[in-house]
């Protein structure tokens, strides 16, 4: 919603079932055509037709308080944030390994993770999703589509997509929930680019959303921060699959960081990715689904 351009229109539809009264003549008698309609209704259910209504940008702006910042809203408490990350990780794990076909979402971000009334997360918006045959190691996609700030380097630079593409985006979501920051700030700096130096220094409490006022579980924070650091690694080879990410997040014992130790000399392929990401940002075109295209980059 926040990317809708001025003077654009948002088409919303609702399904309305036709009343059987429409098939009845004004005097209550049924003509030949009406009888045929009723017979069809009895034979099989008629698919409801969508009715459309258009809203101007101004109407949507009024309804959403001019797309006001979330700064005026009460922040999510830590328990809800933690529950949201665990549920999302489980959902992604199911898409990657639990389905009959491996499903790559390609647009994992906070706005695509909805909450039920009891605050259970649900992954939504599968408009960019691709399924990956079991015998394939990856997909090659062109043009690149997704949301700026969440794109994995190998996908952004080469169009290579697999489960690790979603893992990277999930890492950004983790950092969003920990820090309360946007995936891209007003200076066009990506959240993962800002967080990496802090994670490397081990100063993870600097990541925490100040609006929490210290009300968070330190042990859970350490696990989520470490999981996030694994997810946003530049090389997909060194990113764990979602089942291992979930394992890190739910560990009750001390994390064995040696298990995920990375060989530094093998990550040079994507060096300078953040700089390239920043340079191309001004060339992106935003689609109605908050997606971007790098065709002009």
> Which residues, in sequence order, are bridge partners of residue 131?
103
Would you call 107 a catalytic residue per the annotation? yes
Classify 148 as helix, strand or coil: coil
Q: Closest Cα to residue 110, out of 177, 46, 165, 195? A: 177
Q: Which helix (H) or strand (E) holds 63?
A: helix 57-63
For position 146, what pLDDT does the model report?
A: 77
For position 81, what pLDDT does the model report?
A: 94
pLDDT tens-digit profile, the chain (297 residues): 333 333 333 333 333 333 434 444 455 444 445 555 545 545 545 555 555 566 666 666 665 555 555 556 778 899 999 999 999 999 999 999 888 888 989 899 999 998 888 888 999 988 888 877 676 656 677 777 778 889 998 888 888 888 999 999 999 999 999 999 999 988 889 999 999 999 999 999 999 999 999 999 999 999 999 999 999 999 898 999 999 999 999 987 788 888 878 776 444 455 555 554 545 543 343 333 444 444 444
Domains observed in the chain: 10-63 (no CATH), 76-293 (1.10.510.10)
Bond prior to 143 in cis (omega within 30° of 0)? yes
Q: Exposure of 86 by Cβ count < 10 A (0-12 exposed, 13-18 middle, 19+ buried)?
A: middle
CA distances from 215 to 36, 81, 119, 121, 211 (A): 66, 12, 19, 21, 9
Specify the pTM: 0.68
- The CA distance from 111 to 281, in Å, is 20
- Cβ proximity of 249 and 192 under 8 Å: no
- The CA distance from 25 to 167, in Å, is 59
Q: What is the dihedral of CA 48, 129, 116, 14, to 10 degrees?
A: -20
Instruction: Indicate the pairing of strand 160-161 with strand 292-293.
Output: unpaired
Q: How many helices (H) and strands (E) does the chain have?
A: 9, 11
Q: Which of 70, 107, 162, 290 is catalytic?
A: 107
- The CA distance from 19 to 7, in Å, is 36
For position 208, what pLDDT does the model report?
A: 96
For position 36, what pLDDT does the model report?
A: 55
- The CA distance from 130 to 52, in Å, is 28
Q: Rg for the chain (alpha carbons), in Å? A: 24
For position 78, what pLDDT does the model report?
A: 95
- Cβ proximity of 139 and 132 under 8 Å: yes
């Amino acid at each position: 919603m926040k990317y809708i351009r001025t003077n654009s229109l948002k088409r919303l539809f609702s399904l309305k079932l036709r009343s059987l009264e429409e098939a009845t003549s004004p005097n209550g008698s049924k003509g030949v055509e009406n009888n045929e309609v009723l017979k069809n209704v009895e034979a099989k259910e008629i698919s409801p037709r969508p009715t459309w209504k258009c809203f101007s940008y101004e109407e949507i702006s009024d309804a959403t308080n001019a797309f006001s910042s979330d700064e005026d809203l009460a922040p999510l408490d830590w328990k809800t944030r933690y529950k949201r990350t665990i549920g999302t990780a489980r959902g992604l794990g199911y898409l990657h390994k639990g389905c009959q076909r491996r499903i790559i979402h390609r647009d994992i971000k906070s706005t695509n993770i909805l909450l039920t009334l009891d605050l259970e997360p649900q992954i939504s918006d599968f408009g960019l999703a691709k399924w990956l045959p079991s015998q394939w190691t990856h997909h090659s996609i062109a043009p690149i589509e997704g949301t700026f700030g969440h794109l994995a380097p190998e996908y952004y630079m080469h169009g290579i997509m697999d489960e690790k593409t979603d893992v990277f985006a999930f890492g950004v979501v983790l950092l969003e929930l920990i820090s309360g920051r946007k995936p891209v700030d007003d200076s066009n700096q990506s959240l993962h680019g800002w967080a990496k130096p802090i994670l490397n220094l081990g100063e993870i409490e600097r990541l925490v959303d100040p609006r929490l006022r210290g009300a968070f579980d330190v042990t859970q924070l350490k696990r989520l921060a470490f999981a996030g650091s694994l997810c946003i690694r530049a090389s997909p080879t060194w990113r764990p699959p979602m089942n291992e990410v979930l394992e890190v997040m739910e560990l009750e014992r001390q994390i064995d960081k040696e298990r995920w130790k990375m060989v530094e000399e093998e990550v040079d392929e994507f060096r300078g990715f953040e700089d390239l990401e920043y340079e191309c940002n001004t060339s992106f075109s935003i689609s109605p689904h908050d997606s971007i295209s790098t065709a002009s980059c």
